[in-house]
Structures are given as structure tokens and as C-alpha cells.
Amino acid sequence: MKCRFRRKILYILLLFIDRIILLLPVYFSLIIGKFGGFLAYLFLPKYSKLAKENLKMAFKDEKSRHQINEIARNVFANLGMSAAEVLSMPKIKRQLDKKMYGVGFEKIDKALSKGKGAIILSAHFGNWELMPMYFVAKGYPLSVIARRIYYEKYDEWVKLLRDSTGVNVIFRDESPRKVLEVLKNNEILGILPDQDIDSIEGVFVRFFNKPAYTAIAPVSLAMRMGSPIFPCFIMREGARHKIVVEDPVSLRFSENKQEDIVKNTQLWSNVVESYIRKYPEQWVWMHRRWKTKPGK
């Protein structure tokens, strides 16, 4: 009962903040979001501690304690600004070319000309919620795979927000046929498989030199449908965002399908790691990425 009451209060607070953010220029919203992120860093010690522990593990002797703490603070600041931008989506959509730009989209055009669709593989990096909006606004038919939020009102609110941008959402508990239909129709499928979710099928690959349980869905779909996988990332550049489409992953095909799945998953995981190393403050380090252990 207490949990339900707290969720309801937080939901009402969210709606109140949403109305305020919509009244403010995006620039001021970002200031508020950044400040909120710093407050979260200070008053949610469980998550700030986890972020620092993960950073220490990942970078070991590469970064000092001061650098680790600074990156962790900036991670929360980025998330705060991202939340403000999500609430400001209607305004950002109207100013799209001032707020966002893309590089490498001709690679997707070339892939779609072959008629087998394309898989956009990204991560919880930068402001990942803005990226689908950009694709749709530029005329690309895009569906994204998402998981439901446990609190129904939150889930409905997020779905309405995504629907307002024209993005089609396929929930993980829906029929797999919906996912296959996207690629069969020569459309784009967006996936964020960079988190440890033990309820879905995965394999262990090296991620920051440590075994990490990783979803095989992107590779399995690509190998089955013949669709290319494009690692794609959105980076914050001040108040603007840059979206980069990387070259398609060069998938391995041999007589050992299981071995191919592991090696191909490792290939895209390496690309994700390379971006996180370059922009560590833009990834969600407070996630328990190495929660699942081999052999368990």
C-alpha cells in the first residue's frame, strides 16, 4: 500500500514538473535538469556509489579517484538534462535541426535499398529517448523494442510521449512476429541491448574486460533475417545532440551457429564499449551491468 501511495505521489509530481518544463525555454529546462541530476547524485547514495564502483572496475588504473567522482557526477547531470529534454520533446521536435543532427545516415539508406530492413543497435547512452524521434522526423519507418514500466500510469504516460513522436513501440512481452514483421517490411528496428536482463536469452561476452551477460536478440535477428546491424549513438554536445551511424557489424557465419552468436555479440559489444570509453559521462553507470555471473 505504501509503495502504491508513493508511486501515485511521484506520478502527480511528474505531471506537475512536466507542465512547468513545457512553459520554460529548453535552455532553462536543461539548467533545472542538470541541477536535479546533481541533487540525485547527492541524495541517492546507493546509486552514486554503484556508479563509482562500476567506473573504478572499468577503468582501474586509467583514472584517478577525482576523475571517477567527476565522471559519476556528470553521469547524473546528463540524466537530469535528459529527463528535462524528454519532457520538452514537443518543443525539441519543432526545433529539430537546431537541436540535433545526424552523421552516416546514408549507410542506412543503402541498406534499406536492399529490402531486408535494418537493425539500429544503441545503448542507454546520451539521451537515447531523443534518437527515435529524430529518425521518424527524417522519414525513416522505425519501431523500438521496450519493456513495460511496472506502474501502469507511468507506462501509459511514456507510451503517449513516444506515440506523439511517431515512434512505434513493441513491448518485449508482445508476439515476436511483430518484431519480424518490421524487418520483413523493410523497416528499421531499434534495440538497446546494453543492460543485464537475466529474463531474456543471452550469452557472456567481455565488456570492460569482465564477463557480462548480454542479449543475443540483435544477432539472432540479423542472422535469421539477413538484416544489417548498425551501431548508432547519440552524444550530447552542450545543448545540441549528434547522432552517429557506424558501419554495419561484419557478422561471422560458420557451421557453428552458437559460436557465431557469441562472436557476433562480442563484435557489437566492442563498439558500444568504445563509445562509452570515449564519453564515459554519457552512459548509465548506476546499472548493475555485471550482475549475472557465469555458471549461475
Going 129 to 23 to 20 to 26, the CA torsion angle's sign is positive
Q: Is the pLDDT of residue 28 over 50?
A: yes
Q: In what order do the strands lie in the sheet with 142-146?
A: 100-103, 240-245, 229-237, 118-121, 188-191, 142-146, 168-171
- Please give the pLDDT value at position 295: 79
> Residue 201 in 3-state DSSP?
coil
| Count of beta carbons in the 10 Å neighbourhood of residue 24 | 16
pLDDT digits (tens, 9 = 90+) for 262-274: 999 999 999 999 9
Top-confidence range, 11-25, 27-41, 142-156, 267-281:
267-281
Interatomic CA distance for residues 191 and 185, integer angstroms: 17
Average pLDDT value for residue range 130-142:
96
- Please give the pLDDT value at position 1: 38
Helix-strand-coil percent breakdown of the chain, rounded to 5?
Answer: 55, 15, 30
* Closest C-alpha to 183, from 240, 223, 125: 223
Give percent above pLDDT 90 in the chain: 78
Going 16 to 34 to 28 to 144, the CA torsion angle's sign is negative
Q: Is the pLDDT of residue 154 over 90?
A: no
pLDDT digits (tens, 9 = 90+) for 75-89: 999 999 999 999 999
- State the distance between the two ends of the chain, measured CA to CA, in whole angstroms: 34
On whether the CB atoms of residues 186 and 112 are closer than 8 A, the answer is yes
Q: Is the pLDDT of residue 182 over 80?
A: yes
- Average the pLDDT over each of 10-19, 38-47, 138-147, 224-233 and give the range with the smallest value: 10-19
